[in-house]
Structure 1
Amino acid sequence: MGLSRSSRKIMLVVVALLLAAGALPPMFAEAETAAKGVVAGTVYEKNGLPAQNATVYVYKEGSNNPSTTSTNARGNFWLNNVEPGNYRVQAKRNYETYTYDSGYSAYAQVAAGETTVYDLTIDAVDGALSGSVKDGNGNPLPGAKMYLYKGSSTSSSVTVEADSRGMFLFPKVAAGEYRTKVSIGIGPYTFESEFSSPVAVSAGTTAQAGELTAVPTKGAVAAAVAGPNGEPINSATVNLYRDGSSVSAANVRTDNAGDAMLKNVAPGTYQAKATYSTFFYNYESELSESFEVTPGNLAASGSLNLKTGQGPPAPT
């Protein structure tokens, strides 16, 4: 049967008296000297049970650098050799999902040769948000990056990844209303979901965002670059232009076979052009015919054939 709070206080005071009298073993007796005091107490959970392995912070008035100690299996803590003065204490315990905090106690005087007892109760100060993510065929998407947005904000600073079952959990979320969204690269494409419906998160509870479905939102473009004599060109640059624009929207270099792929291209109508430079010569292709990029599909720009651009005539 557990000790009552009053019994715990009596026990802690008895320990302090034994320390002062030298009636405890040296490992205890050395803990307190006549010039210093002891801070002790018990940390409880909200349901009244002792809080084991809580971290207790002891702040001297005017200082933001606390001394720390931890609670034992009975929720008890003590800190020896405390300089006399006014102190306040705070207890915290971090779980994987929530943070528990007592807040600050009132200041109390710690006197030389005496024990000052504090009782603290910790409670959850944040919550969590969970859900799952699948593709359009109902398959889970492990590794999908989940973004958390507070209220109507479109900026997210908190991300987690879905596990092997497509499940995700945002731990230690401050109380408030949130939305979440998914993004994942699969092959050359980006898959995203719509925003989830707003979900209210409260302290000590895990809110449910439900199931999100990620669908492709971007496409890809394949290109091949050949030299003046039809040979494949390695390390040529393929530039992608939105139809009618002279500003490159994306670029990539070709491989040894003269092939290139531009990944995660936003939907739209594009043209492609290749350029290649040597120490003496510059080569470029004509703009390709216009082609359409659609989500989840691979568009082809066709072969981009280089011809001499600026510089001396190309060698024959």
Structure 2
Amino acid sequence: MTAKKALLAGLALSTFGSVAQAADEVNIYSYRQEFLIKPLLEAFTAETGIKANVIFSKKGLLERLEHEGANSPADVLLTSDVGPLYDAVQRDLVAPIDSDIVDANVPSQYRSKDDKWVGLTARSRIIYASKDRVEDGEIQTYEDLADPKWKGRICTRSGKHSYNLSLIGSIIEHNGEEQAEQWLSAVKDNLARRPQGNDRAQVKAVKEGQCDLALGNTYYYGKMLTNTKEPEQVEWAKSVNLVFPNQNDRGAHMSISGAALAKNAPHPDAAIKLIEFLTSEKAQKMYAEVNYEFPVRAGIEWSDLLKEHMGEFKADEVNLGDVVKHRADASRLVDKVGFDN
């Protein structure tokens, strides 16, 4: 961290510290980008009168919570993936969310079994398939990615990225570690290039003919299709079909953005109110639409884009806690088969 960043972080913490005892405020550490949650927090304040103070960062928030210990001003942790929530539990940084409202609003597969984190939005990790070079129905499952027919035809980001570790964890949960290793090794043999870039870069590679299949999260399709500032991304999106795998058995792998209650939260009541609000009907619709994600709460209408381009699909209902617990094993398998090499 540069001296300037350190100073800014210190100032932010100092600001949090100055309001730490106010009963009508809640302090948030957020990995989610500001533009995604700012409208929600403004709506929360308008509805409850509770002011929401936020520190945004792409990394380092768990370490900050750990270093602050009992003196941490943080009440709520917001994440863009389930991985940091699991890590927060492992580091003993969060407390149970004791709320019947949250339990009623969020299906059990999107909540930890010990109530230490809860999903706020859902996304599926799907297969993007070339419209020109892959026939409809030619690939139907994650397991199909290991078929030698796809040799030199698959693109993906690093196997060590949290999104892929989650997918590999789901393969371990459903098929066992031995089969997961065999699958991962076979997928590696089918790669068109060394894993690199983000999910959008994989779809670009499909458009440019570098590969025919790519792994990616669903919301990137919406982001590309509506990217008026970079219209070339619209063309990337239009070059692929979306394949939701395993529709005839367990369903497509799901993950979440989520929230947790900080272990040493100075405003636990306000924190619970915020988490309850984020699972409310009003917030779920707002939260999911702004990032082309799926509401975790049942009965919330999807955005028009999702309804038009994704339709109904079968989602894997395994509890994400049973998937994310395999992260370390998934990471080890990535190294063992040399997936990123």
- TM-score tier, shorter chain, comes to under 0.3
Pick the structure with more helix per residue: 2
Taking structure 2 as the reference length, the TM-score comes to 0.19
Flag the structure with larger Rg: 1
TM-score (norm 1): 0.20
Q: Which has the higher strand share?
A: 1
